[in-house]
Amino acid sequence: MKPAGADTVVVRHGDVNQKSGRVQRDMERRLVGNVEALLADRGLDAEVEHRWTRLLVRTPESRVEAATEAVTDAFGVVSASPALVVPAERGAIEDALARAAEAHYDSGAFAVDARRAGDSLPFTSEDIEEFGGRTVWNAVEQRSTSDRTRSDDAVADEFDPEVDLDDPDLTFYVECREEGDAFVFLEKRPGPGGLPLGSQAPVVALVSGGIDSPVAAYEVMKRGAPVVPVYIDLGDYGGPDHEARAMETVRTLAERAPNFDMRVWRVPAGDTVSLLVDELEQGRMLAFRRFMYRVAERIAEREGAYGIVTGEALGQKSSQTARNFGVTSRATDLPVHRPLVSFDKNEITRRARAIGTFSDSTIPAGCNRFAPNQAETNARIEPLRESEPNDLFERAERAAEAAELIDP
């Protein structure tokens, strides 16, 4: 919902504001670059203006809705609003609110929520809410009166205004800035929050194509870390459908990061998977996970990445116990990040739907044959080392060396 004539998107960020002045400026500049990249990638003609604690996206009114959708995909953005810009003067604000009320108020309760930056303006936030509320009320009453074409007062009464500051049906927002602008808008559309992508060091993301791993990658991207996607090709135990859904999820994530390299390292591991199936029953999945971690470590060295991200959640699968995490993590010197560690499956699924990777992750793929009949839930490192192939890590080294970089 936008007021008529809206040609600006007000963009807000959150955690960035908690940083020191220098860090905040650096992160805001990075956020500007990311927003500009998203707008350009979607063919939107817009100019991004950087102001303290806010970004302003100037675009033609016909593009303001699409621009709002684009900027709310940027990591670090808390919310965005398509807004009408008027001078920070009482008359201009009242006129904008009256026109917005005439166009958008149908029935129910309303509120005026005002914010004022600085002390240079001749009115306070409370003053704006007071005269703004009267303006909306008068505009609604006037329209209600003019709409009465018959004597059925019950019909006309549904348009009578009501104020509710706690739970309004419609809120009219006004933000006044020291620079002399006032922004009038009707909604705050949520963004992902977090930090601007690129404000943290990159990490390797093991992407299997299931529901969990792309959500885990999204979560670290949300905290500012670009991801280097790595897909482990299971050979006969994976197949083209298994790979297809992994690539689809990466493509979906890449839409939010058009100025970052989201090509995928495809690692051939079919021979190792077949060996583990033939030689190892209990502990098979743990040995394979240790293999994957060593592969990821080598690719991280190649890419200058500083951690490994997985979609594991504590207790979600028999191989994902706290003890097993300790055993598998010892395969690498890099930190293993598990952003979903405390999530329930339903919560992970909800997030996958929200970010658009759920349907990609549910393409049928017959890769369950690799799982053993008997799972290890309470592994110890020495027995696992004795049972897994002696050359497991050498195989990982060779697989990482043979990996190819492909477009998702």
pLDDT value of residue 150: 46
The values of phi and psi at residue 308, to 5°, are: -125, 135
CA torsion sign, 261 to 65 to 188 to 342?
Answer: negative
Reported pTM: 0.90
- Answer yes or no: are the C-beta atoms of 340 and 312 closer than 8 Å: yes
Same domain flag for 268 and 332: yes
The number of distinct structural domains making up the chain is 2
pLDDT value of residue 40: 97
pLDDT value of residue 281: 79
Last residue of a domain, one of 190, 222, 249: 190
Same domain flag for 143 and 274: no
pLDDT class for 155, splitting at 50, 70, 90? Answer: very low
- Res 149 pLDDT > 80: no
Quick count: other Cβ atoms within 10 Å of Cβ 267?
A: 24
- Answer yes or no: are the C-beta atoms of 264 and 207 closer than 8 Å: yes
Domain containing 289: what range?
203-406
- Residue 2 located in a structural domain: no
Report residue 3 as tokens: 């007021």
CA torsion sign, 348 to 350 to 353 to 355?
Answer: negative
CA-CA-CA-CA dihedral for 281, 335, 251, 274, to nearest 10: -20
- Res 186 pLDDT > 80: yes
- Res 366 pLDDT > 50: no
pLDDT class for 164, splitting at 50, 70, 90? Answer: confident
- Residue 359 located in a structural domain: yes
Determine the average pLDDT of the residues in 145-163. Answer: 57
Same domain flag for 258 and 372: yes
Same domain flag for 14 and 105: yes
- Res 241 pLDDT > 70: yes
pLDDT of 246-266, one tens digit each?
999 999 999 999 999 999 999
- Residue 46 located in a structural domain: yes
- Residue 195 located in a structural domain: no
10 DSSP β-pair partners:
56, 81
